[in-house]
Amino acid sequence: MNIFVAGFHHETNTFAPSPADWEAFTCGAGYPGYSRGEAMLAKMRTSSMPIAGFAAEALEHGWTLQPSVWAGAMPSNRVSLHAFERICGEIIEDLQKGGFEAIYLDLHGAGVAEIADDAEGELLSRMRAVVGPDMPLIASLDLHANVTQAMLTHTTAMTAFRTYPHVDMRETGARAAQMLARRLTPDAPARLCHYKRVPFLLPLNAQCTLMEPAAGVIRELVKLEAESTAESELELNFAMGFSAADFSECGPVLFGYGTDASAVRSAVWHLHAKVVAERAHWAIELLTPADAVEQAIALAASNIAPVVIADTQDNPGAGGDANTTGLLHALIAARAGERLEGRVALGLLFDPESARAAHAAGIGATVTMQLGRAVATWDGALTEPPVQAAATVLALSDGEVDLHGPMTAGNHVVLGLCACVAIDGIRVLISSGKMQMLDTDLYRFLGVAPEQMKLLVVKSSVHFRAAFTPIASAILVARSPGPMAADPGDLPWQHLLEGMAPRP
């Protein structure tokens, strides 16, 4: 069997300050950069992305992969017209060459383009126009996918991550291959799809599957699948949605496939009832920056392991630019560096100008820097001003980093010029590329041993928990002003479906 494979990943925050242009896809930053053909397959096989899991499982089945395009960019505002048309155009061009019996797509599922609110649905529609309605087409999705009617219509089946932090990406790709294998079996029975929308948006922090109620829903989903009979063969999914994309089909969706229509419908409705029954519990405690820092300092005094503060509203993994300074101002105001004997670090702060200045000055030099930016948020208000201070350069890097964490093992990221500087005893890790702090290697490459710190501030919402929970004595979540609303009810929604509540 020859299987056509391609990938497109973008998680679109329509309230974010920066769009995703072609350069965002070519550089990749926290993603592998744009690639096509055999070079794509060579690069992606060793990554932690779903396509690597699909490729490994395909080998077991003796399939030959026909690689097209893999394109991914860090979350931001809409994908530009030029970038979207180029990505789609190259996939369609490769598709028209034929020579394959099925298709696998490594999709995110929460893309919005300037030309199409449902970016994945538009791509799939164009692909179906080439291959026709009967070609088997399987897709893997991110847990945060905003699943649309078009996505369900134009795919044979889809499967989504079941963990957040996403430590099962390769596993999800392998599951997609297994789903395809079932459908390629001679005389395979028809599988029917059923789906149901949850009537409220889920805050990003509450979607963490290390905590309830998300953990319980996933446990029940896996249990229902395991208990399904050979006659029903249930394949179930809970796409929790990315609650910052202002279009009509934004929101959580439960969906599944099976050979028994009644069994699929019953399972989906059962899971839906469980999600809705927990409505009051889809929330998380959020602290002001000042309160988070004071609590962290107090906790650090009685613990050997570091306390971690998540700067969730400037998460570059959700559309922030990783350049706001609310937590840095709070650390300085609280004299955290002095009180914790210099064992305080914050990263990664996206600031190419300061990184260049640090490299020009050299290790050991003290430079007056203006760190970070004042950023306009969804309500037009500005975040805190830059931090202007004398900074001592502690470490420099070209920003090429191999990652080894539970979510990122096998990935290589290119962040441009990077530096670690000290301000009032606080180590600030500066990068020239946007990257969520989801791996301890993103501290280590600039000379910071995270387990030896007393307080760590990470620009992340949930992904950091996979790598940092094992070394942390406590985790706090701070609501410092930034572009990614921790509470989706704060956003000025205009296009949600009627009846869709913007918060639980």
Q: Are 167 and 49 in contact (CB under 8 A)?
A: no
Report if residue 502 sits inside a domain. no
Q: Do 173 and 197 fall within a single domain? A: no
Report if residue 105 sits inside a domain. yes
Q: Do 279 and 304 fall within a single domain? A: no
pLDDT at 27: 85
pLDDT at 230: 80
Q: Do 58 and 127 fall within a single domain? A: yes
Number of domains in the chain: 3
Q: Are 23 and 76 in contact (CB under 8 A)?
A: no
The set of residues, in sequence order, having a beta carbon less than 8 Å from that of 59 and lying 6+ positions away, is none
pLDDT at 379: 86
Number of Cβ atoms within 10 Å of the Cβ of 388: 12
Residue 31: band (very low, low, confident or very high) from pLDDT cuts 50, 70, 90: confident
pLDDT at 322: 95
Take residue 111 and report the two structure tokens written for it.
Answer: 């893309």
* Four-residue CA torsion sign, 156, 50, 406, 56: positive
Nearest to residue 394, comparing CAs of 424, 422, 357? Answer: 422
Q: Which residue type does 143 have?
A: L
What CATH number does the domain containing 57 carry?
Answer: 3.40.50
Average pLDDT over residues 234-255: 98
Pick the last residue of a domain from 268, 284, 300: 284
Q: How confident is the model over 438-496, as pLDDT tens digits?
A: 999 999 999 999 999 999 999 999 999 999 999 999 999 999 999 999 999 999 999 99
pLDDT at 34: 94
Task: Report how far apart, in Å, the C-alpha atoms of 371 and of each of 77, 142, 323, 339, 428 are.
Answer: 23, 33, 8, 22, 9
Residue 283, pLDDT > 90, answer: no
Mean pLDDT of the chain: 96
Report d(CA 232, CA 296) in Å as an integer. Answer: 51
Q: How confident is the model over 394-439, as pLDDT tens digits?
A: 999 999 999 999 999 988 999 999 999 999 999 999 999 999 999 9
Of residues 45 and 354, the one with the higher pLDDT is 354
Task: Tell me: cis bond preceding 136? Omega within 30 of 0 counts.
Answer: no
Q: Do 5 and 73 fall within a single domain? A: yes
Q: Do 381 and 394 fall within a single domain? A: yes
Q: Do 140 and 151 fall within a single domain? A: yes
Report if residue 328 sits inside a domain. yes
Alpha helices in 162-213 (DSSP H): 169-184
Q: At which residue do the structure tokens 């394959």 appear? A: 100
pLDDT at 225: 96
End-to-end CA distance of the chain: 46
Q: Do 160 and 198 fall within a single domain? A: no
Report if residue 100 sits inside a domain. yes
Three-state DSSP class for 242? coil
Q: Do 2 and 106 fall within a single domain? A: yes
Report if residue 495 sits inside a domain. no
Q: At which residue do the structure tokens 């004042």 appear? A: 374
Report if residue 493 sits inside a domain. no
pTM metric for this prediction: 0.94
Pick the last residue of a domain from 128, 157, 188: 188
- Helix, strand, coil shares of the chain, percent, nearest 5, are 35, 25, 45
Q: What are phi and psi of 355, to 5 degrees?
A: -65, -40
Residue 140: band (very low, low, confident or very high) from pLDDT cuts 50, 70, 90: very high
Report d(CA 346, CA 63) in Å as an integer. Answer: 46
Percent of the chain with pLDDT over 90: 93
Report d(CA 269, CA 283) in Å as an integer. Answer: 23
Average pLDDT over residues 144-158: 98
Q: How confident is the model over 79-104, as pLDDT tens digits?
A: 999 999 999 999 999 999 999 999 99
What CATH number does the domain containing 240 carry?
Answer: 3.30.310
The set of residues, in sequence order, having a beta carbon less than 8 Å from that of 504 and lying 6+ positions away, is 200, 201, 202, 203, 206, 279, 280, 282, 283
Nearest to residue 106, comparing CAs of 7, 5, 239, 175? Answer: 7
Q: Do 29 and 148 fall within a single domain? A: yes
Residue 28, pLDDT > 90, answer: no
pLDDT at 381: 87
Take residue 383 and report the two structure tokens written for it.
Answer: 């975040």
Q: How confident is the model over 180-205, as pLDDT tens digits?
A: 999 999 988 999 999 999 999 999 99
Q: Do 329 and 457 fall within a single domain? A: yes
Q: What DSSP line would sit under 320-382, residue for residue?
A: --S---HHHHHHHHTTHHHHTTT-EEEEEEE-HHHHHHHHHH-TT-EEEEEES---B-TTS-B
Domain that holds residue 391: 289-486
Q: What are phi and psi of 111, to 5 degrees?
A: -90, 140
Report if residue 115 sits inside a domain. yes
Nearest to residue 326, comparing CAs of 303, 310, 307, 338? Answer: 310
Pick the last residue of a domain from 156, 188, 220: 188
Q: Do 340 and 261 fall within a single domain? A: no
Residue 229: band (very low, low, confident or very high) from pLDDT cuts 50, 70, 90: confident
Q: How confident is the model over 154-176, as pLDDT tens digits?
A: 999 999 999 999 999 999 999 99
Average pLDDT over residues 226-234: 88
Average pLDDT over residues 291-309: 96
Report d(CA 10, CA 149) in Å as an integer. Answer: 19
Report if residue 228 sits inside a domain. yes
Percent of the chain with pLDDT over 70: 100
Nearest to residue 407, comparing CAs of 467, 359, 365? Answer: 467
Q: Do 225 and 203 fall within a single domain? A: yes
Residue 128, pLDDT > 80, answer: yes
Residue 256: band (very low, low, confident or very high) from pLDDT cuts 50, 70, 90: very high
